[in-house]
Chains A and B, each alone.
Chain A
């Protein structure tokens, strides 16, 4: 069974600092999703990474995918308070199940002023 491990579970960081959230998964996949969730809101799609070596950036967030290492990272540059939210990675397109996502536990990010 595919397992997705996300760490850290909780991240408290100061504004202006950099940090990385890690997403490891246990079986072959070439599709990795990152979502952001604010309290009581929907999961907002941030990135869809479709191939090995894929890198995407949006503002202060940058996501990458290494399918050989079965690892994706979400890097936060010069954090600001508005980035406080829960971030989820999810793996898809594995074992023929192209439409079922397996989610990580989520990382609660709190950016302190």
Chain B
């Protein structure tokens, strides 16, 4: 069974550009999460989807970040326009309904220059 997959694995963009990160959760997992780790900081929660609905987006840093999960399958996280402080690793995770384990992807490394 495939795990949580993320694309791209690495991205280097200029300040002011747009980047879209994609996450494919484990098949059948209704719960999908985005986390990020900026340099030298802890891994921090961004938001949580249940199917296509945003359950909790309290961790989204500002309105330059937009997450979607149309159809309740894969999710995208768009950063527009990107700023230098957005550099870091963006992790996606998923969990099955009633399950306790939260499975993480390998992360998308974003560098804004």
Contacts and interface: CB of A to CB of B under 8 A. Distances in A.
A103 B43 contact: yes
Given A42-B106, A48-B100, A99 B48 contact: yes
Given A48-B101, A99-B31, A101-B102, A43 B45 contact: no
Contact-size category for A: 20 to 34
A33 B44 contact: no
A102 B45 contact: yes
Interface string A39-66: 0111111001010000000000000000
A35 to B, nearest CB: 7
Nearest to B45: A100
B28 interface: no
Residue of B45, B58, B93, B107 with most chain A CB atoms under a 10 A cut-off: B45
Interface in A69-113: 88, 90, 97, 99-106
A103 B44 contact: yes
B100 A42 contact: no
B22 to A, nearest CB: 15
A44 B91 CA distance: 12
Interface string B83-107: 0000000010101000011111111
A108 to B, nearest CB: 13
The 3 closest A-B pairs by CB, nearest first: A43-B104, A103-B43, A42-B106
5 contacts: A42-B107, A43-B43, A43-B93, A48-B100, A100-B58
Interface of B: 3-4, 31, 33, 35, 42-45, 48, 55-56, 58-59, 91, 93, 95, 100-107
Given A42-B3, A43-B91, A43-B93, 8 more contacts: A42-B91, A45-B103, A48-B101, A99-B33, A99-B48, A100-B45, A102-B45, A104-B42
